[in-house]
Structure 1
């Protein structure tokens, strides 16, 4: 298994001999206005360039996984650029229909027993915030990768820590967990994804697992920096279990 942090929640994952691109956010730096009612209104999104050219990013990709359709997970650049013949996995039929309308010809809705080339892709639950903000944030999912020749991987997606994440950990016993951990927020409504305390709770639920912090410092409404998370993990004694990659950095397991 090889996991490469691209930018924001965009990952390139090599698993059991297949290559997946997760949540493609492919626009040039500053292509989109800042998310409203949030920090850094003077900075357009994304805040950084892709670490590698789009053409290189999609070389050898076997399938796409799009956990939900928010701009910073699937943007106009991705819609226009990605080859439409690639298999795409989405969270529900509503998202699948949007992707089909965008021209993708092979779209599958993730379920509890989805399979791709012998790899199990299991949809997991998530909550994109807490309380009233959930009505605006909408539905999201994560995905568990399983194969007899690989460690179990859990890509949690845009979720905060809550009972559902613990249920997925208890059920699947992942050895590697990717968390969207930028603590992204609007001025009202609280966190939309995991902050440092959520990451700590995930570690406590899966103390033997390796955690990878993604979705950091890439869009204007981030609230937790890589450096602050690194310091917090050291203070709490789990820094050896946590990787906080820079864009373009990869890890093999």
Structure 2
């Protein structure tokens, strides 16, 4: 399995012949609105996509969306919708998002309703995991979406947590399934008021301590409301003795993972 970090939550997952684009935000730097209204109003994204993006997009076979409604353009923006509409690449999503995406002309292939139960996916299986995209008043305003747990023959098990804070649901899932590779948001995003809406440094460290697998942190240094830097997260992981399992890739960097043991039959 290969994971190429593109920008923010956008990544390309290579599983055998399948190349899965996750949560595409394809806009040029500064093309999207600010996410904080007080102080300096910085437009988003604050960095461009890496130079290899166009070449990688030409290889994509599927798209996977964790959430996309209520203005969450950092997981599916207008540029990505236009590209998906033009290419008609299959877009895998939850039933909740299916009608929304069909109305925009996308080739939608929704999963079956319900959480936890695995279902067929590209010769393997996939299940959704509940997200909590913030708490308190700000949490009531957010689109909470899902994470995905993907198991493929001969590949490491993969947990894409989606946009979530660290919850008991997430910790229970880690304890039960112990994914070999996890991809988590680590930017500590927050608006002008209220709590963080994704994990920050401390929660990412707690997440990493709760699993035996590799943890890849993204959602960093791409949006104006995410204050956590790669350097700060790497330094904290080093102090916590987790730097050997917590990876913080640069945009455009590809990481390769092999399964540590035998996978269950499919």
Equivalent residue for 1:217? 221
The CA distance in 2 between the partners of 1:233 and 1:13, in whole Å, is: 24
The 5-angstrom pairing of residues 84-99 of structure 1 reads: 84-93=87-96, 95-99=97-101
Residues 1:45 and 2:44 aligned together: yes
Shift of 1:38: 5.8
8 Å CA contact 1:6, 1:247 repeated in 2: yes
Residues 1:183 and 2:188 aligned together: yes
The CA distance in 1 between the partners of 2:108 and 2:224, in whole Å, is: 33
The CA distance in 2 between the partners of 1:75 and 1:98, in whole Å, is: 13
Residues 1:237 and 2:237 aligned together: no
Q: 1:79 aligns with which of 66, 78, 81?
A: 81
Equivalent residue for 1:163? 168
The 1:7–1:63 alpha-carbon spacing in structure 2 relative to 1, beyond 3 Å, is same
The 5-angstrom pairing of residues 79-228 of structure 1 reads: 79-82=81-84, 83-93=86-96, 95-109=97-111, 112-206=117-211, 208-228=212-232
Q: What is the DSSP-based 3-state SS (H/G/I as helix, E as strand, rest coil) of the residue aligned with 1:6?
A: strand
Q: What is the DSSP-based 3-state SS (H/G/I as helix, E as strand, rest coil) of the residue aligned with 2:216?
A: strand
8 Å CA contact 1:99, 1:107 repeated in 2: no
Q: Which runs of no fewer than 5 residues in structure 1 stay unpaired?
A: none
Shift of 1:4: 0.6
Equivalent residue for 2:19? 19
Q: What is the DSSP-based 3-state SS (H/G/I as helix, E as strand, rest coil) of the residue aligned with 2:88?
A: coil
8 Å CA contact 2:6, 2:53 repeated in 1: no
Could you give the per-residue CA deviations for residues 43-93 of structure 1, whole angstroms, max 9, x where no partner exists?
A: 210111110365323222111111001110000000111245221111333
8 Å CA contact 1:38, 1:185 repeated in 2: no
Aligned length: 250
Q: What is the DSSP-based 3-state SS (H/G/I as helix, E as strand, rest coil) of the residue aligned with 2:34?
A: coil
Could you give the per-residue CA deviations for residues 105-149 of structure 1, whole angstroms, max 9, x where no partner exists?
A: 332136532322212121111100122211111221110110121
The 1:212–1:39 alpha-carbon spacing in structure 2 relative to 1, beyond 3 Å, is farther
Could you give the per-residue CA deviations for residues 167-198 of structure 1, whole angstroms, max 9, x where no partner exists?
A: 22123220111011000111211111011111
Shift of 1:221: 0.3
Equivalent residue for 1:252? 256
The 1:6–1:148 alpha-carbon spacing in structure 2 relative to 1, beyond 3 Å, is same
The 1:3–1:210 alpha-carbon spacing in structure 2 relative to 1, beyond 3 Å, is same
Larger mean CA deviation between 48-57 and 214-223 belongs to 48-57
The 1:55–1:202 alpha-carbon spacing in structure 2 relative to 1, beyond 3 Å, is same
Residues 1:35 and 2:39 aligned together: no
Residues 1:58 and 2:57 aligned together: yes
